Structure 1
Amino acid sequence: MRKLFYLFVLITSNSIVAQEKKEPKPQIVEVSCGQCKFGMTEKKGCDLAVRIDGKSYFVEGTKIDDHGDAHAHDGFCEAIRKAEVVGEIRGNRFVVSKFKLLPAEEK
């Protein structure tokens, strides 16, 4: 009986820990070249950035060239796009675990 009690406690505590480690919910953010479109100056060259609540963050976990030609008419250096992302802000960077670029809006 004592073994069953300890087994129950172990299973219950593991499920509580698993609930606390839920992944953040996806959010829709603006995404573009940090230097070309968001005016970020911390780095040279062209780097992927997101804008969340009016603040821009360089992205870790995916690169600007992973999503097509950055200098195409709808590329990140030419347009501000939308993406569905999952991740978290760490310091002054957005660490992405999921990134889905949404279709470009027609003008």
Structure 2
Amino acid sequence: MKKIFLLSIFMIAFACDNKKEIKQTAEISCGQCQFNLVGDGCDLAVRFNNKAYFVDGFGIDDFGDAHDKQTGFCEVIRFGEVKGYLKDDKFLASDIKLLK
């Protein structure tokens, strides 16, 4: 009986996910070029609540040429609706939709 109780506690703890999904409008750009994050080369980042995070799940060129003078993330900061989680000081994006 004790083993069943401990197994039940373990399963409940495992099933409870402490991650809180974030869905909000955020600034999107190159972390190094626009948000002054330290990294190796140009990488996609988001900034919300006055803090910038590198993005996992999407690349900097997934939305066009990152060095395009008018729309590229290395040249301008754009806005978008982002959805995902924070983990280890990175934003794990499940969805990014750019706003015009």
Q: Same fold (TM over 0.5)?
A: yes
| Aligned counterparts of 2:77 and 2:22: Cα–Cα separation in 1 | 22
One of 88, 98, 101 as aligned partner of 2:98:
101
Query: Match for 1:34 among 31, 34, 59?
Result: 31
Identity between Structure 1 and Structure 2 (%) = 49
Equivalence for 2:4: none
Which protein is richer in helix relative to its size? 1
Amino acid paired to 2:64? G
CA contact (8 A) 2:22 2:85 kept: no
Task: Identify the structure with the greater strand proportion.
Answer: 2
Moved >2 Å (runs of 4+): 23-26
* TM-score w.r.t. length of structure 1: 0.71
Larger Rg computed on CA atoms: 1
Aligned residues between the structures = 83
Partner of 2:42 in structure 1?
46
The TM-score normalised by the length of structure 2 is 0.76
Residue 67 of structure 1 pairs with residue 60 of structure 2: no
**Does the C-alpha gap of structure 1 residues 45 and 25 become closer, same or farther in structure 2, counting only changes over 3 Å?**
closer
Separation of aligned partners in 1, 2:22 and 2:45: 19
Gaps of 5+ in 2: 1-14
For 2:61, what is the secondary structure of its paired residue? helix
Letter in 1 for 2:65: D
Q: Which residue of 2 aligns with 1:84?
A: 81
